[in-house]
């Protein structure tokens, strides 16, 4: 039996908490920056090194035997040096204050401090760089961020021309990001900034606009300063046993009403595979929270969220039996795959009647709207045997 898809309700009968301008802008900045931000800042250097090693190796093989041995040795040494250099760049050593990617010097006048719960950014403006750039403004402490970690970030958007602070979420709920291969492919600059950070690290992230920023459709220069608050979850060690029961950890307790089993909830969430922390679905990445009835989701969600208060952030570790079971949900969720979710409960209330639900359609009718969820979303019911 195919997986049933639940879709957010759109008829206006439910009030939905909209994302702030900061959240929308920050998500767009971090995940949809110019293509230059999506390229590995070390890719060209590594490519040149690999090419050089190959050329040296071929030169050694084409010479006389004695000369060839010498050239091979030289090529080997050169290749080893290149490998060592590439390995060093890929090791993601913790970034010290003043370090970063791209044109770090262009961000050297930036400073960060806190005035109570409000961030204070100072800089000599205008700030300008020709490439996506980061700079560490303050070093963190504790365990460095690793591949697959789910981290919480607080951030402030800054106008790079004037230095004016436009919005921040330091006093409110932090945003959630997963440091995985998908992020690396989408935005290698941000990936490196997070992988070299520790809790408490403060990083300035600048993305240049297109053209002069004045023409219609041209992108403006953008600057965000973010602080890594903490690591919410890390992938298990190789010898860790799979979770056999649902684990619910309250990361932050809200002060709203409790969620009931029949409620309709509006949430922000990130879902990753337990074994390696790879994202398979994220409303944060889409920049839009999801709304659905709690009795129409996988068992781990309905059981894990029931009784939680609106405003809470919850970490769900879900065994395969309470997720997608033996069938999984290809291509990203394999058979018998445990899952992990970080869920922010934004709203909860009485669910709509089936007659007004948008997934209730006449037979043969086709919807003109694409669903906002996928078969890998928790808003999908577990397949039945």
The model's pLDDT over 20-32, given as tens digits with 9 standing for 90+, comes to 334 444 555 655 4
Residue 123 sits at the vertex; the CA angle it makes with 107 and 215, to the nearest 5 degrees, is 75
3-class state of residue 56 by DSSP: helix
3-class state of residue 380 by DSSP: strand
Output the CATH code of domain 247-350. Answer: 3.10.50.40
CATH level 3 topology of 99-233: Chitinase A; domain 3 (3.10.50)
Give the pLDDT score at 381.
53
pTM for the complete prediction?
0.73
Give the pLDDT score at 286.
85
Give the pLDDT score at 97.
98
Give the pLDDT score at 216.
56
User: CA 123, CA 109: separation in Å to the nearest integer?
Assistant: 5
Contacts of 138 (CB under 8 A, 6+ apart): 97, 112, 200, 201, 202, 227
Residues of the chain with pLDDT under 50: 1-25, 32, 34-66, 75, 83, 85-88, 353-376, 383-385
User: CA 121, CA 225: separation in Å to the nearest integer?
Assistant: 8
Residue 19 sits at the vertex; the CA angle it makes with 167 and 310, to the nearest 5 degrees, is 115
Give the pLDDT score at 248.
98
Give the pLDDT score at 30.
58
Q: Where are the domains of the chain?
A: 99-233, 247-350
50, burial (CB in 10 Å: exposed 0-12, middle 13-18, buried 19+): middle
Fold matches, 99-233 and 247-350? yes
């Amino acid at each position: 039996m195919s997986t049933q898809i639940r879709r957010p309700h759109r008829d206006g009968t439910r009030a939905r908490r909209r994302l702030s301008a900061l959240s929308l802008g920050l998500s767009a900045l971090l995940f949809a920056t110019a293509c230059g931000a999506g390229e590995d800042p070390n890719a060209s250097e590594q490519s040149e090194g690999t090419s050089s090693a190959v050329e040296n190796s071929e030169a050694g093989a084409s010479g006389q035997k004695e000369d060839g041995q010498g050239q091979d040795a030289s090529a080997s040494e050169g290749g080893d040096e290149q490998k060592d250099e590439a390995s060093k760049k890929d090791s993601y050593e913790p970034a010290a204050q003043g370090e970063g990617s791209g044109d770090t010097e262009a961000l050297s006048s930036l400073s960060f401090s806190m005035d109570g719960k409000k961030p204070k950014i100072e800089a000599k403006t205008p700030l300008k760089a020709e490439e996506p750039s980061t700079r560490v403004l303050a070093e963190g402490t504790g365990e460095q961020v690793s591949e697959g970690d789910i981290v919480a970030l607080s951030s402030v958007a800054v106008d790079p021309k004037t230095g004016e602070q436009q919005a921040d979420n330091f006093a409110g709920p932090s945003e959630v990001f997963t440091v995985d291969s998908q992020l690396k492919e989408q935005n290698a600059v941000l990936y490196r900034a997070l992988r070299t950070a520790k809790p408490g690290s403060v990083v300035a992230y600048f993305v240049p606009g297109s053209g002069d920023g004045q023409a219609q459709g041209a992108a403006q220069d953008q600057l965000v300063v973010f602080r890594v608050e903490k690591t919410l979850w890390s992938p298990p060690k190789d010898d860790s046993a799979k979770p056999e029961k649902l684990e619910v950890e309250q990361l932050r307790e809200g002060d709203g009403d409790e969620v009931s089993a029949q409620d309709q909830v509006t949430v922000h969430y990130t879902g990753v595979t337990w074994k390696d922390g790879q994202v398979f679905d994220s409303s944060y990445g889409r920049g839009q929270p999801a709304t659905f009835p709690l009795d129409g989701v996988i068992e781990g969600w309905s059981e894990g969220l029931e009784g939680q208060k609106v405003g809470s952030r919850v970490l769900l570790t879900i065994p395969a039996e309470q997720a997608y079971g033996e069938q999984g949900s290809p291509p990203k969720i394999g058979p018998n795959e445990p899952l992990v979710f970080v869920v922010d409960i934004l709203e909860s209330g009485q669910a709509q009647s089936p007659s007004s639900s948008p997934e209730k359609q006449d037979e043969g009718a086709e919807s003109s709207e694409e669903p906002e969820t996928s078969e890998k979303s928790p808003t999908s019911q577990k397949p039945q045997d």
